[in-house]
Amino acid sequence: MHAGRSIIVTQTIDGFDAFYAEQRDRAVELAWVLTHDRSLCEDVAHDAFAAVYARFDGLADPVRYLRRAVVNGVYDRSRRTSRERRRLRLVSSGETAVLAGPTGGVADIVAALPLKQRTVVVLRFWGGLTDGEIAEVMSMRPSSVRSMLSRAMARLRLEISA
């Protein structure tokens, strides 16, 4: 009886190891784009993978679950820490959070958006997700995603043109 159990555990570990190897960089990148904090994004990604591992055998789409776990982890961390508030104060005070880079300051403008608007923009343009996929990740309706994206884009246009 124990031997059969160890085979199942080994298969789970092997399958998860492959999943982790394929998805780790993408999960860390998603967390980084949402937080702009290297150590925080590593922690969020790690916690998200721990959540996936606990349910790995029963998940129909572990990538989708991982994406949602990363977004939820970012939300949880931003509520619990002052890092988000400090970074937003820097950006909104006119100081750049990113001194130089390939985005020409667009990353700073996106970083200044409220967290939910920033998440919608990141998932659409960085993640390439549809309204329905974003709605699923953020637990909202697709129409709410479209509305939030519209408001975020209007704000971005104003900031970029200024």
pTM: 0.64
- Give the pLDDT of residue 148: 94
Yes or no: say if 121 and 156 are a contact pair by the CB < 8 Å rule.
yes
- Exposure string (b/e) for 104-115, b if CB count within 10 Å is 16 or more? eeebbbbbbbeb
Q: In whole angstroms, how far apart are CA 83 and each of 69, 73, 113, 132? A: 20, 14, 15, 30
Residue pLDDT, tens place only, 47-70? 999 999 999 999 999 999 999 999
End-to-end CA distance of the chain: 69
Long-range CB pairs of 57-61, under 8 A, 24+ apart, other chains included:
57/12
Residues of the chain whose pLDDT is less than 70?
Answer: 1-12, 80-105
At residue 52, the pLDDT reads: 96
CATH numbers and ranges of domains, the chain: 1-81 (1.10.1740)
